[in-house]
Chains A and B, each alone.
Chain A
Amino acid sequence: MRQRRNKWQFGAGIVIILSTIAWLSYSGIQESKTYYVTVSELLASPVTEHRRFRVAGDVASGSIQRAVGRVEFQLQQGAELIPVVYAGMDPLPDTLVDGAQAVADGRYENGTFHAEAVQAKCASKYEAMAEEANAEAAADAQMPGAY
């Protein structure tokens, strides 16, 4: 009898904890989910309102413009361009230069991407060096961007 009551108690405790966590996870996901897209996928996307995006592309040459508390640049994929505005507090990564591969997090409204965070990585110095070394440097340079 006692054993059964115990099992019931433990079961109830476990169910309460797990369902709370599940509920928190669900709402947490709804709050922060971000769609990964490339520049052309974003331009082709039918739904852009009320969604967070993470758009990847190359920084168009000569497009970076810095002003107080605001940086503008364009992300490029082939011939397609998206203007990006960043007005966040955190300094942009040092790797954000012309031609760098970059990823911007934020919302796309009225033809402008409002980024809340930007990550970028440089192309490697030695073009002659094997592709591998390039990939390598990239893998290492990724860490900062993720913050």
Chain B
Amino acid sequence: MEIIAGFSLCLALALTIYALAASILGVTREKDRLIYSSYRAVVAVWVAVTIAIGVLLFAFFNDNFYISYVAAHSNRALPWYYKITSLWAGQEGSLLFWSWLLAGYAAVAVWTNREKHRSMMPYVVATLAVVQAFFLILNVFIASPFQLLAMNQAGGMVVQGPLDGSGLNPLLQYPAMAIHPPMLYLGYVGFTVPFAFAMATLITEQAGEKWIETTRRWTMVTWLFLMIGIMLGARWAYAVLGWGGYWGWDPVENASLMPWLTGTAFLHSVMMQEKRGMMKVWNMVLIFSTFYLCIFGTFLTRSGVVSSVHAFAQSNIGPFFVGFLGVGILVSGWLLLERLDYLKSNQQLDSLVSRESSFLFNNLLLLAACFAVLWGTLFPVITEAVKGVKISVGAPFFNKVNIPIGLLLLFLTGVGPLFAWRKTSLGSLQRNFLYPGIVALGVGAMLFALGVREFYPQMSFILCAFVGLTVVLEFYRGAHVIAQKSGASLVSSAVTLTRRNTRRYGGYIVHFGIVLMFIGFTGTAFNTEREQALLVGERMELAPYSFRLAELTEADNPNFAAEHAVVELYRGGRQIDVMYPERRFYKASRQPSTEAAIRARMNEDIYVVFAGMEEDQQRAVINVHINPLVNWIWLGCLVVVLGTAIALVPSKSGLDAGRRKKPATAAAAEPTVKETEHDEVPA
């Protein structure tokens, strides 16, 4: 079986090289048939890699422990669904998974755009093929998941596996963790397509901005996957790691955040290019950096260059990634400089209070955040190179820099979309921001009276109120106009409104989701926690609750043994709930793991951890956290997903009404039924 897989991977590599050669030869010699054959090769690569993935999956289901990757990441008692996730539990598997996703993306991108972007497609194929070849080379030669365990080498190789595998890391045996890596990878890998389009555009010096529309859509989809991936990771960290938090500024987390930041910056500044023909160079830089940060993220996650301090294991794939990144950045950087003339912008910034300027500052802040995160993540590497000592920075650094940046961004989220292109009039400022401003200040005063007096939390809540209201007001105004004309209800008018300009209103919904997430983040400032060792029957207090350890129970199954602490939850002397924090001992990997019990409500989560037994084996150490508003983060994320999905749907009237031009200032000020093209270039 593994021979078939190895063969199909080699075939995939050969096909990729063929696609590269055929597309370039085809376009330089103007042979259409060669170009078409390169498209087919791209699809064939996907088929070949799929076969390899299928074989690996089959080996997991069949418990083929003579394959070392299977032995290291699975065991007989592992439930079938976790056997699927074992596929990407280790380095070799994840790299193969990367290849497979890229092959899939490439096939879809090439097949759907082969007519639409005819002139640039060969270069898109070539760029995709180069990236694909890099990963396939890793899959075939450097980190093959199909290596066999050779247990006895005397008298020829006798391939024989252990009776059982060492099992999947218990920390990975959690539902959100099962889909977190695929989502994250869908995000990482997907940015290869915009990158390929950008490269092809530069090479062919495309006229017009048609390619931008295609690239923007791809970027939105992959950005969404990345976002979901990051949030699932946060959710996993929250539920599984047992420290009561969802984000620890760990290098691996940072690695996924960085492309998200630059991708977000791109999604905003690309509008400047679409509407006003500005920021062309900048957008190229953003696409390139997002792609390289994705590769860099994969490298950080898989090679352990940063988190693997001293004794922690090093991996052999590091140099390949560094080489790929270095060559890639040089080539694309050179190409960018070479094509500066083509990217010349023909517009100027007009006013500090304009949409353009808000985009500019949005980009500046996102990039500054990205740079700070990168700097902090690589700080040990930098100091070691410069001073010869490894020095790391921790959460205080990241929080100190990123909290103010986040708040400024939140502010821009509120004001930016309501600024007009070029220049905003005083009247429109007043109309859009007077009420939200007053209400937000009222919220601030109320919070102050209630005792919320720390600067950042207070500021954050005020801004959340402000931004949330501007969004609601914008929906209300638009819907109100439609409702008056059509006589429909406000809600159905809001739906009509959204369908007429999905991009604009989808974007608002995304912003609203971000506001909800910020409310959740701010809740962290009010977290409380307490740890105590309890005998059965004893109580501990964490205002306003009281926790009683009712009993300790045990359970057992083939995969793991479990101990539960049964904790009764009281409030004001009355029992309101029972919670079951758990400790598991996974048999195959012989590793313990902690399962926190979480009582999630919109106002707060009660988070109980059974941290272990005291030396005397009598007292159970119970760790209790009260985390206000955490649920708003997950809710906000769902709203962001919804908003992005809406923005991806083509506008209803945008299809038949065609592109109408209308002065943006007037449109922003008085929403009318006809203002679907609200965002158009000012006449």
Whether A9 contacts B352 by the Cβ 8 Å rule is yes
Task: Determine whether A140 belongs to the interface, using a CB cutoff of 8 Å to chain B.
Answer: yes
Binds A, one of B120-128, B364-372, B440-448, B653-661: B364-372
Write the A1-18 contact mask toward B (1 if CB under 8 angstroms, else 0). Answer: 001001001100110011
Cβ of B302: which chain A residues have Cβ within 8 Å of it? 139
Whether A95 contacts B396 by the Cβ 8 Å rule is no
Whether A28 contacts B401 by the Cβ 8 Å rule is yes
Q: Shortest Cβ distance from A10 into chain B, in angstroms? A: 7
Cβ of B614: which chain A residues have Cβ within 8 Å of it? 66-68
Inter-chain CA distance A137–B589, complex, in Å, is 10
Write the A126-147 contact mask toward B (1 if CB under 8 angstroms, else 0). Answer: 1011101111111111111011
Binds A, one of B40-48, B101-109, B247-255: B247-255
- A124: nearest chain-B partner, CB-CB: B166
Whether A139 contacts B91 by the Cβ 8 Å rule is yes
Whether B372 contacts A25 by the Cβ 8 Å rule is yes
Cβ of A43: which chain B residues have Cβ within 8 Å of it? none
Cβ of A139: which chain B residues have Cβ within 8 Å of it? 90-91, 302, 304, 308, 312-313, 315
Whether B352 contacts A147 by the Cβ 8 Å rule is no
Cβ of B351: which chain A residues have Cβ within 8 Å of it? 6
- B72: nearest chain-A partner, CB-CB: A133
- B610: nearest chain-A partner, CB-CB: A91
Whether B391 contacts A24 by the Cβ 8 Å rule is no
Inter-chain CA distance A29–B389, complex, in Å, is 15
Cβ of B252: which chain A residues have Cβ within 8 Å of it? 143, 146
Inter-chain CA distance A129–B171, complex, in Å, is 22
Whether A32 contacts B169 by the Cβ 8 Å rule is no
Q: Which of B312, B313, B533 contacts A68 (CB under 8 A)? A: B533
Task: Determine whether B230 belongs to the interface, using a CB cutoff of 8 Å to chain A.
Answer: no
Whether A24 contacts B360 by the Cβ 8 Å rule is no
Inter-chain CA distance A45–B401, complex, in Å, is 31
Whether A144 contacts B241 by the Cβ 8 Å rule is yes
Binds B, one of A34-42, A78-86, A107-115: A34-42
Inter-chain CA distance A66–B593, complex, in Å, is 18
| Chain A contact residue count (CB 8 A cutoff) | 62
Inter-chain CA distance A94–B530, complex, in Å, is 19
User: Which residues in window 39-84 of A have CB below 8 A to B?
Assistant: 54, 56-58, 65-69
Task: Determine whether B636 belongs to the interface, using a CB cutoff of 8 Å to chain A.
Answer: no
Q: Which of A18, A34, A124, A137 contacts B392 (CB under 8 A)? A: A34
Whether B309 contacts A129 by the Cβ 8 Å rule is no
Cβ of B397: which chain A residues have Cβ within 8 Å of it? 25, 28-29, 31-33
Cβ of B357: which chain A residues have Cβ within 8 Å of it? 10
Instruction: State which size class the interface on B falls in.
Output: 35 or more
- A51: nearest chain-B partner, CB-CB: B391
- B302: nearest chain-A partner, CB-CB: A139
Q: Shortest Cβ distance from A68 into chain B, in angstroms? A: 5
Cβ of A54: which chain B residues have Cβ within 8 Å of it? 309, 392
Inter-chain CA distance A24–B408, complex, in Å, is 14
Q: Which of A101, A105, A125 contacts B589 (CB under 8 A)? A: A125
Task: Determine whether B71 belongs to the interface, using a CB cutoff of 8 Å to chain A.
Answer: yes
Whether A38 contacts B310 by the Cβ 8 Å rule is yes
Cβ of B400: which chain A residues have Cβ within 8 Å of it? 24-25, 27-28, 31
Main SS class of interface, B? mixed
Whether B623 contacts A94 by the Cβ 8 Å rule is no
Chain B CB within 10 Å, residue with most, of A27, A34, A103, A147:
A147
Q: Which of A18, A33, A134, A143 contacts B391 (CB under 8 A)? A: A33
- A137: nearest chain-B partner, CB-CB: B72
Whether A91 contacts B594 by the Cβ 8 Å rule is yes
Cβ of A142: which chain B residues have Cβ within 8 Å of it? 304, 307-308, 312
Q: Given A36-B392, A65-B615, A66-B614, answer yes or no on A140-B169 (Cβ-Cβ < 8 Å).
A: yes
Whether B72 contacts A136 by the Cβ 8 Å rule is yes
Q: Which of A121, A129, A135 contacts B314 (CB under 8 A)? A: A135
Q: Given A32-B393, A36-B392, A89-B529, answer yes or no on A10-B349 (Cβ-Cβ < 8 Å).
A: yes
Cβ of A129: which chain B residues have Cβ within 8 Å of it? 68, 71-72, 149, 162, 166
Whether B395 contacts A32 by the Cβ 8 Å rule is yes
Task: Determine whether B242 belongs to the interface, using a CB cutoff of 8 Å to chain A.
Answer: yes
Inter-chain CA distance A143–B243, complex, in Å, is 13
Q: Which of B241, B396, B611, B615 contacts A67 (CB under 8 A)? A: B615
Whether B531 contacts A135 by the Cβ 8 Å rule is no
Cβ of B364: which chain A residues have Cβ within 8 Å of it? 14, 17-18
Whether A130 contacts B149 by the Cβ 8 Å rule is yes
Cβ of A18: which chain B residues have Cβ within 8 Å of it? 364, 368
Q: Which of B72, B151, B391, B530 contacts A128 (CB under 8 A)? A: B151
Write the B390-415 contact mask toward A (1 if CB under 8 angstroms, else 0). Answer: 11111111111100110010000000
Q: Shortest Cβ distance from A41 into chain B, in angstroms? A: 9
Q: Given A14-B364, A31-B396, A54-B309, answer yes or no on A66-B592 (Cβ-Cβ < 8 Å).
A: no
Task: Determine whether B113 belongs to the interface, using a CB cutoff of 8 Å to chain A.
Answer: no
Task: Determine whether B612 belongs to the interface, using a CB cutoff of 8 Å to chain A.
Answer: yes
Whether B72 contacts A94 by the Cβ 8 Å rule is no
Cβ of B478: which chain A residues have Cβ within 8 Å of it? none
Cβ of B32: which chain A residues have Cβ within 8 Å of it? none
Write the B220-261 contact mask toward A (1 if CB under 8 angstroms, else 0). Answer: 000000000000000001001111110010111000000000
Task: Determine whether B521 belongs to the interface, using a CB cutoff of 8 Å to chain A.
Answer: no
Cβ of B237: which chain A residues have Cβ within 8 Å of it? 147
Q: Shortest Cβ distance from A69 into chain B, in angstroms? A: 6
Task: Determine whether B435 belongs to the interface, using a CB cutoff of 8 Å to chain A.
Answer: no
Whether B591 contacts A94 by the Cβ 8 Å rule is yes
Cβ of B405: which chain A residues have Cβ within 8 Å of it? 21
Show the binding face of A for B, using Cβ within 8 Å.
3, 6, 9-10, 13-14, 17-18, 20-21, 24-25, 27-29, 31-36, 38, 54, 56-58, 65-69, 89-91, 94-95, 101, 103, 105, 121-122, 124-126, 128-130, 132-144, 146-147
**A–B pairs, 25, beta carbons within 8 Å:** A9-B352, A10-B357, A18-B364, A21-B372, A21-B405, A25-B401, A28-B396, A28-B397, A31-B396, A32-B397, A34-B392, A36-B389, A124-B166, A126-B162, A129-B149, A129-B166, A130-B147, A134-B313, A136-B313, A137-B166, A139-B315, A141-B171, A142-B312, A144-B171, A144-B240
4 A-B pairs closest in CB distance: A36-B390, A28-B397, A91-B611, A135-B313
Q: A36-B310, A143-B171 are in contact. List 18 more A-B contacts (CB 8 A).
A: A29-B393, A35-B389, A36-B389, A54-B392, A58-B311, A65-B615, A68-B532, A68-B619, A121-B312, A132-B68, A137-B169, A139-B91, A140-B89, A142-B304, A144-B241, A146-B248, A146-B251, A147-B241
